[in-house]
Chains A and B, each alone.
Chain A
Amino acid sequence: MRFKLMAGLFAAALMSGTAFAQTPSTLRIGLAEDPDVLDPTLGRTYVGRIVFSSICDKLFDIDDKLNIIPQLALSQEASADGKEVTIKLRPGVKFHDGEAMDAEAVKFSLERHMNFQGSFRKPELSAVDRVEIIDPLTVKLVLKNPFSPLIAQLTDRAGMMVSPKAAKEGGDKFGLKPVCAGPYKFVERVQQDRIVVEKFADYWDKANVFIDRIVYLPITDSTVRLANLKSGQLDLIERALATDIKDIKATRNIKLATALELGYQGLTMNIAKSDAGKAGLGLDPRVREALDLSIDRKALNDVVFNGEFVPGNQWVNPENPWYMKNFPVKGRDVAKAKKLMADAGVKTPLTIDFMVPNNPETRQVAEVIQSMAAEAGFDMKIRITEFATSLQQAEQGNYQAYLISWSGRTDPDGNIYSFAACKQPLNYSGFCEADVDALLSETRALSGMEKRKPVYEKAAAKLLDGRGGILYLYHRKVLIAHTDRLEGFTQRPDGLVRVVGLKYK
C-alpha cells in the first residue's frame, strides 16, 4: 500500500516535472510585407503563399528539382487524350475543424476556386470543365482541352483544399479565419502586426511536426528585419538583401539558405500596345536587340547585388531543367548595338519613357541600366511610378519600357504564355505573332519535357534577345536567413518557407 502511494507520488512528481520543462516552442518568421487576405481562392500575394505553406496543404507539392510529389493527393494520371486527369487522394486527412477531407471536399474546394466571386484562381483552372467524384478517395478532372501545366497549378494555391463547412459559413470572410488541412492551424491575426498559427494535432504527417507555434511578423525594412534576426527577436527572415550576404555569412549564430528563384527580373518593352510603343522600342526589332546588347548583365549583378544573383536571358533561370542551353547569356557589345541602331535608321539619342516601380532596389537597377544604355544611344528617362499607377499605365500602354518582374511558376508555361501570347492579360508589350502563339499553345497540349522542350526552343528563337517583348535580365536568389538553432531547413526555388521537419536544437 505504501509502496503504491510512493510510486504514485513519484510518478506525479515526474509528470509535473516534465510538464514544467515543456514551454511551447515558437518559430518567429519575419516577412517583407503584410500578406493580403488569407483565403487561397482570393489571395494574390507572394508573402500570402509563405503563410499558406504552414496552414494550407495542397494536392501536390514540388521537390527541389521541381518534380511533382504527393501531399494531400497520392497520385495523378492523365488519360491518353490528355482530357481527363484522375487524382487519388490520401486517406485519413482531416481539416482543422475536424471535418474529413474526401472527394466531396476536394470537389468543393476546386469548384470554389473556379466559381467563387472574385476568385483569382479562375484563370489558373480555366482548362477544367468539371470535377467528377469517382469514389470517396478519387476525383476526376475533365478538361476542355489537354493542358499539361494543370498539375503544376495544383502545387500552388489552386490546389489548396479548404473545409467545406467552414468555407460555406465564412463566405468571403473565410480568409479572416481560414480552415485548411496544413500542419498548423490559424489562431489569430492582427493586421500589419502578426499572424499566429499553432500545431494541428491531427495532421496527416504529425510525426514530422516539432515546433508548437509559428508567428509571422511583417517588417518591411530589410535592415530592420536582419537586425531583429541578429538580436534574436526573430528566428527566420525572408528576402534578406544580396548586399547583406557578406554580413550574414560573417555572423556566427545565423545561417543562410538559398535557392535560385522560379521567376525572373526583366524589362518589358512596349512594342505594339499603344502608339507610344510603336514610336519607341516598337520601331524596329534591331532597336530592341541593340538595347539588349547594351546591357552588361554581369556588371549589373556585380554593382547592385555584389555578384550574388544570377544573370539570365530566358524566362526560366539557368539552373532550371527547362533552360535552353543553346541560347546562352550574351555579353555586352556596345559597338554592335550602335551599328544595329544605325542600320535601323534610328536617330540617336532615342528617348525612352522608362517606367520604374517605386522601390529602392528597382530604382538602383534602373539607374544602372540607364547609364549602360546611354552608351548605345538610348536616353532612358526614368519615371518612378507607384506600383498601383504603373499597373494601370502598363494596361493602357502609357510607357515605353517597364521594369517589372515576375515571381515565377513551377511550370514554364506560367512564365511565358500570359506574356507572349496575343492579347493575354499580362501581355503588356503588345507582342503578337501567330506562329509564336501556335507554338506556345502546342506546348500546353503536349506532355512530358522531351516533347515540350523542342517546341519551346522553336518559340525561343523568336522571343529572346529582344525579338520578343521582354528582355530577361537576371534572377534573384531566394535568401532566407535563420538562427543556427533551427535544424532541418531546406530552401526550394519557389521561395516558400516549408515548416514540416523543422526543429530547434
Chain B
Amino acid sequence: MFSLIAKRILQLIPTLFVVSVLIFSLQQLLPGDPALVMAGEEKDPEVIEQIRKQYRLDQPIPVQYVYWLKGVLTGNLGESMRLKASVSDLVLAKLPVTLQLASMAMIIALLIGVTAGVVSAVKRGSKLDYIVNVIGLIGISTPNFWLGIMLIFLFAVNLGWLPASGYVSPFEDFWGSMKTTILPAFVLGNAIAGVLMRHTRSAMLQALDSDYVRTARAKGLLETKVVIKHAMRNALTPVITLGALEFGTLLSGAVLTEQIFTIPGFGKLIVDSVFNRDYAVVQGVVLVTATTYVLLNLLADIGYVLVNPRLRG
C-alpha cells in the first residue's frame, strides 16, 4: 500500500511538468503582443521595445520557459506586467477568497446533495425520489452564469435583499461577508449538489441492499438507526472522495461565477489576465491550482484505498 502511495507521488512530478509546459505554451500561442496590450493607447515604439526586453518577450520561447521554470523552482512565480505586483502576492491575496467561496459552495452542495441522495435512496421509487431526482438534474442542467444573472436580478435588483456584487472579508464583517458570498456559493454548489446527489443515491442503494444492512434489519433495529448508522457510514466514503475532487475543481476558481458576481478570486484573476496577456499571472496561478488539484486527487485516491482494503496491493 505504501508502495502504491509512493508510486502515485512520484507520478505527480511529470504530471506537474506537463501542466507547466501546457499552460506555458498555450499562453505563448495566444495571438496578441503583451507589450502592445500593456501600452494600449500610450504607444511609443521605443517604450514597447523596452517592455519587451524587460520581460524577455524578445527571447525565443524555450528560453523564456527555462527562465520561468527556474524562477518557479526557487519560489518566484514572476510578476504581473499590468499590476507590477508579484504573482505570489496576488495568489496569497486571493487564496482566502477562493477558499471561502469553495468551502461555502461545498457545504451547500453536501447539505443539499447528500441529504437528497439519502432521502431518494431510502424512499426509492416513491414520488419523493422522483422529485429529488429531477431537482438534481435541474441542478446540473442550469448554466451557472444564467442562474447567477437571474439570481442577481431577483435578489439584488428586485428584492434588494442581497448586494449585487462585491466581496467583503469575513474578518472585517462576518454577516456582510455572508451576504456577498451566499449567492455565488449557491450557484456553484447547486451544480455540484446534483452530481453528489446521484452518487450518494447509488451508493446508498447499494448499501441498503447489502448483507450487513439486511442483518441489522433482521436484528430488529429501528429503520432510522439502520439507515444512519450502518448504511450511510459505508455509502458516504466514496462520496467524500468525490467531494474532495469537486472541491479541487472549485479551487481552480469559478471563472464565470466570479466574473458575474465580481468576486476577486482566482477565476476572475485568470480570465482577466488571459485577456490582458499577462502571461506570468496565468502561468503562476494555474500552476498553483493544478498542483492543488493533483494533490487533492492523490488524497482522494489514498482515502479510497484506505476504505476499500480490496484495492490495496
What is the interface of chain A, defined by CB distance below 8 A to chain B?
Answer: 34, 36-37, 39, 42, 44-45, 117-124, 172-173, 175-176, 190-193, 217-221, 223-225, 227-228, 230-231, 233, 386-389, 391-393, 395, 406-407, 418, 425-426
Contact = CB atoms under 8 A, between A and B. Distances in A.
A228 to B, nearest CB: 5
Given A118-B51, A120-B47, A193-B167, A224 B262 contact: yes
Given A118-B54, A221-B165, A392-B36, A191 B44 contact: no
B84 A223 contact: no
A370 B93 CA distance: 44
A386 B47 contact: no
Interface stretch (B17-25, B270-278, B295-303): B270-278
A37 B269 contact: no
A51 to B, nearest CB: 13
A406 B156 CA distance: 34
A131 B295 CA distance: 58
Contacts of A221: 165, 260, 262
B46 interface: yes
A2 to B, nearest CB: 47
A37 B41 contact: no
A225 to B, nearest CB: 8
13 contacts: A117-B54, A118-B54, A122-B46, A124-B42, A190-B93, A191-B264, A219-B262, A220-B262, A221-B165, A224-B156, A392-B36, A407-B41, A425-B45
Contact of B156 (A36, A227, A418): A227
A457 B45 CA distance: 30
Contacts of B166: 193, 217, 219, 228, 233
A426 B43 contact: yes
Interface string B124-163: 0000000000000000000000000000100011001001
Contacts of B37: 387-388, 391
Q: Which of B33, B47, B157 gathers most chain A CB within 10 Å?
A: B47
Contacts of B75: none
B307 interface: no
Given A36-B82, A190-B93, A123 B42 contact: yes
A220 B54 contact: no
B112 interface: no
A220 B264 contact: no
Contacts, number: 130
A345 B61 CA distance: 48
B31 interface: yes
A220 B259 contact: yes
B157 to A, nearest CB: 5
Interface residues of B, number: 47
A118 B272 contact: no
B82 A37 contact: yes
Q: Which of A172, A191, A387 gathers most chain B CB within 10 Å?
A: A191
A101 to B, nearest CB: 24
A193 B94 CA distance: 10
Nearest to A398: B31
A45 B156 contact: no
B41 A176 contact: no
B84 A219 contact: no
Contact of B41 (A39, A44, A175, A389): A44
B268 A191 contact: no
B38 A44 contact: yes
Given A192-B264, A219-B262, A392 B84 contact: no
B54 A192 contact: no
Given A192-B269, A386-B275, A406 B41 contact: yes
Interface in B184-222: none
Given A176-B85, A221-B165, A392 B32 contact: yes
Nearest to A174: B84
B311 interface: no
B4 interface: no
A388 B32 contact: yes
B29 to A, nearest CB: 12
Contact of B47 (A45, A123, A176): A123
Nearest to B40: A44
B240 interface: no
Q: Which of A45, A172, A193, A217 gathers most chain B CB within 10 Å?
A: A193
Contacts of B264: 190-193
Contacts of A387: 37, 275
A122 B152 contact: no
B72 interface: no
A124 B39 CA distance: 13
Interface string B241-264: 000000000000000000111101
